[in-house]
Amino acid sequence: MDFNNLITTINDALWAYLLIGVLVGCGLWFTWRTRFVQFRMVGEMIRLLADSAVDTAGGAGSGRKHISSFQAFAVSVATRVGTGNLAGVASAIAVGGPGAVFWMWVIALVGSATAFVESTLAQLFKQKHKDSFIGGPAYYIQRGLHQRWMAVLFAVLITCQFGLSNNSIQANTICGAMNEAFGWSPFWVGVILTVTALFIVFGGIQRIAHVSSVLVPVMAIGYVVLAVVIVAMNIGQIPHVLRIILLDAFGIEQVAGGGLGATIMYGVKRGLFSNEAGEGSAPNVAATAAVSHPVKQGLIQALGVFTDTLLVCSCTAFIILISGLYSIPELNGIALTQSALQNEIGALGPIFVAIAIFLFAFSSIIGNYYYGEANIRFITSNTRVMTIYRICSAGVMVMFGAMASFELVWNIVDFFMACLTACNLVAIVLLGRYAFRLLDDYRQQKRQGIKEPVFHRDQFPELEKDLDCWE
């Protein structure tokens, strides 16, 4: 058995027997304990995001060079909206069948509550940094659970997953799209990506936040507009598309997949890869925002899950299913998405996808890099280690992804994603009570007519020494 087959077997065992049930179970638990926060507070989520986009000065601690709530949202969406939405959705449909789309929706709906909890905790336990706040699961594990070994384990896992292996996925997808559309050599595309990514990551989180806040709205709106136009042009097929999704989701009618197990597994895996709810990645950026109450950023990050899966992923899925090309065995990943678009809008389809995936995936590369940086800083402050990491993340792994096979890079990511998610879920289940108390406090202040609730650390006297970012 070669390495690729071995890691495939391990991944299937991890996902089939552990993570699918745990992910959905945790999402349902958090949904219940927060009293369906992801549905009841959508209006507040949109208000907070709109307000923070206008007022980029942030909340607590003005006068420092803090990241605004909107910029933190943009960076996290940059890592969500990317390869998972185009290549990941196509891969899920090609292997798991149309029903995989339904399970992507499920994991997004319940997972948004998980995203709220983990990002609220990241805000609560964040630390001051020289030009911004810093935080994430490694920080709330150490400060909330006081388990240094577990915090270091998470920091290592997320660095391997996002800072290293995930960047290889982005580069692999960009190179595949460029080769399909223009016939460009993966080697030279990889060289260009590497040089550009290195330039940006050596500029720090301020440059990352600026680039992401410009790229994300443009690329997301452009892609969604095109998808809506295509769906509108084929509106008569939508009932049929929804029918095959629902029938295939429960094994009633297998159109293109390998049974109900494969349908659920690939729907959940690619859904998690896309929206990252519970994986522990988005909290690293959520912690950098300057807000007056931890719940604010938790709500905004929960909205990011909806934006990613229910909007962008659904657009890709409808385009592919309308085309009918998902049953062709030779088509998978980004090639399937490009072929589906070509079927609808002609020769411009592959070119549009190539440009879109470049913007999507490149913004993911720089966002992924930051996740690793925040966690490397948690382990050590050695500048030489950070320099080596930057070269490996934006250089070595980007080039590796450009040259490696589609199957190998996805298998590596699936393995680290399973380990990382399991570690984070244990932590947020144990610490979830703090997020529930914060949400109750936020809701109580809103009921009292306070438009912008404020959190003070004396509300948690048992944690006061661990909450030095809050007054």
- The pLDDT score that the predictor gives to residue 443 is 95
Q: Is residue 38 part of a domain?
A: yes
Domain membership flag for residue 462:
no
420-431 tens-digit pLDDT: 998 999 999 999
Q: How far is CA 259 from its chain centroid?
A: 27
Task: Please report, as a single letter, which amino acid is at residue 109.
Answer: L
Residue 190 has pLDDT above 50, yes or no: yes
**461 domain residue, yes or no:** no
Q: Is residue 225 domain-resident?
A: yes
Give the torsion sign (CA, 292, 294, 295, 299).
Answer: positive
Q: Name the average pLDDT for the chain.
A: 81
Asked whether residue 468 is assigned to any structural domain, the reply reads no
Q: What is the pLDDT of residues 284-302, one digit of tens each?
A: 888 888 889 999 999 988 9
Look up the CATH number of the domain holding residue 313. 1.20.1740
* H-type alpha helices, 147-306: 148-158, 167-182, 186-201, 205-233, 238-249, 260-275, 282-286, 294-305
Per-residue confidence (pLDDT) for residue 309, from 0 to 100: 79
Contact 201, 390 (CB under 8 A): yes
- Taking alpha carbons only, the member of 147, 158, 140, 149 closest to residue 435 is 140
Instruction: State the total domains in the chain.
Output: 1
Q: Looking at the predicted structure, is the pLDDT value of residue 439 above 90?
A: yes
Q: Is position 87 within any domain?
A: yes
d(CA 430, CA 137): 12
Name the least confident of 212-221, 260-269, 336-345.
212-221
pLDDT at 58: 41
**Is residue 67 included in any domain, yes or no?**
yes
pLDDT at 149 over 70: yes
Distance CA 420, CA 158 (A): 6
Residue 467 lies in a domain: no
Range of the domain at 68: 3-451
CB 302 within 8 A of CB 112: yes
Evaluate if residue 282 carries a pLDDT over 50.
yes
Answer yes or no: is pLDDT of 269 > 80: no
* Residue 60: per-residue pLDDT: 42
- φ, ψ of residue 289 to 5 degrees: the values are -75, 145
**Which tens digits make up the pLDDT trace of 379-393?**
988 889 988 998 988
What angle do helix axes 89-96 and 99-124 make, rounded to 10 degrees?
A: 140
